Amino acid sequence: MNTTDRNPDGIGIQMEHSNLFSPPRYLRNPHMQTILNSQGPRKLRARRILQRLSSRDLILQADDGTRLKAELDVAIGGRSALVVLLHGWEGSSRSAYMVTTTGRLLARGFDVLRVNLRDHGDSHHLNRELFNSTRSPEVASALQDFVDSHDYEHLFVAGFSLGASFALRIAADRGVPLGLDGVIAVCPPVDPARAMDALNQGFFVYERYFFSKWHQSLRRKLECFPDFDYADDLAAARSLDDLNRIFIPKHTIYDNVDDYFAAYALVGDRLSTLALPATLIAAADDPIIPVDDIGRIAANESLRIETYRYGGHCGFLENLSARSWVETRIVDIIEEALRRKPPAACQPVGQLPSADDARAGASDRRRGIVLR
């Protein structure tokens, strides 16, 4: 399989297409791949999976008091390995792709924590300030709160679209303290400004979809916190550009849209601190995320890039039942990482660890400390 290599000057990344995913001809339209990712047969399959799940509702709390809603599913005969899933913009822990990926991971023995970003998944009431895409530190802190109270030997994060951007930033900024074993990012927006241009200039359905979803989310936030008093601004907005111009200067720390987009871009050296295995999966025909932007990420030995000719935006659907190949790829990457990870040193023969030692060892593993 072809992945990527450094450019000769060592600054960016050269992308080579892989043939590992090749859908039938009738599924090679990028819009079909993108839309069926969360609608139609996949959505129906997700509903059936949700009916079978016994998810535990959780509230994760960050150091700054931020509360994030999450759902935990525990595999039967689990492997002491947790996979955290992060959804895309205006998605949720119950988005079709999140649920079907959860089903695949559970079947392979992995526990799954589906985390809702702030103001997603009916969580608008939990925090006063509005969501914005630079809030990866609060997600990392909330995850730290969770892993500190659970004894998992292995921890992975996988994200889709904007959730993939969050996953990569969390891995770069807090991956070692969290004790992450690996991260998988599916179709992240590498340059958010260019992604917004693609939304505005491409198939109009996508801009209308995200405008409608964000507009609804902002209305819901106003219902929870009426004193924000932005109803007139919201009523006047007619496009994503309008919402960006209105809400970014008023409800983020950024004075303008350009500064805001630059703050969570992945270009240049943003991921230079990655010190754990990371895989970025992208499709050359993605109608929302310009794949060429990936070449502007500075080379990093920890980052593997896999690009595919087909797949649309986070689709990678193999058939009309909307079975997604990327679910299998996520599982394969995780299992490959587990095979490569050296086992922790054994206790001396005849000596069993005390309960305190076991708890301390689990805490060390979560923080990336391994006794050899």
How far is CA 97 from each of CA 40, 47, 305, 325, 345, rounded to the nearest angstrom? 12, 11, 21, 11, 38
* Count of other CB atoms within 10 angstroms of residue 349: 5
- Residue 27 in 3-state DSSP? helix
Q: What is the pLDDT of residues 137-192, one digit of tens each?
A: 999 999 999 999 999 999 999 999 999 999 999 999 999 999 999 999 999 999 99
Q: Please list, residue by residue across 279-315, b when 16 or more beta carbons sit within 10 angstroms of its beta carbon and e when fewer do.
A: bbbbbebbbbbbbebbbbbbbbebbbbbbbebbbbbb
pLDDT at 342: 65
pLDDT at 1: 46
Phi and psi, residue 107, nearest 5°: -65, -25
Residues 237, 70: Cα–Cα separation, whole Å: 31
Token duo for residue 2: 């072809």
pLDDT at 335: 96
Cβ-contact 209, 306 below 8 angstroms: no
How far is CA 273 from each of CA 106, 172, 185, 204, 360, rounded to the nearest angstrom? 31, 5, 16, 37, 27
pLDDT at 348: 37
pLDDT at 14: 46
Q: What is the DSSP letter of 57?
A: E
Percentages helix, strand, coil for the chain (3-state, rounded to 5) are: 40, 15, 40
pLDDT at 39: 86
Q: Please list, residue by residue across 111-132, b when 16 or more beta carbons sit within 10 angstroms of its beta carbon and e when fewer do.
A: bbbbbbbbbbbebbebbeebbb
Q: What is the pLDDT of residues 58-106, one digit of tens each?
A: 999 999 999 999 999 999 987 899 999 999 999 999 999 999 999 999 9
- Per domain, the residue ranges of the chain are 4-191+266-344
- State pTM to two decimals: 0.88
pLDDT at 20: 84
Place of tokens 């089903």: 103
In degrees, to the nearest 5, what angle opens at C-alpha 289 toward C-alphas 202 and 217?
80
Residues 170, 178: Cα–Cα separation, whole Å: 9
Residues 6 or more apart whose CB falls under 8 angstroms from that of 125 comprise: 224
pLDDT at 90: 96
Cβ-contact 88, 213 below 8 angstroms: no
Residues 321, 342: Cα–Cα separation, whole Å: 38
Strands 56-61 and 81-86, bridge-based pairing: unpaired
Q: What parts of the chain have a pLDDT lower than 50?
A: 1-12, 14-16, 345-372
Residues 6 or more apart whose CB falls under 8 angstroms from that of 336 comprise: none
Structurally, at CATH architecture level, domain 4-191+266-344 sits in 3-Layer(aba) Sandwich (3.40)
What is the helix (H) or strand (E) element at residue 156, kind and residue range?
strand 154-160
Nearest CA to 283 among 32, 74, 59, 8?
Answer: 32
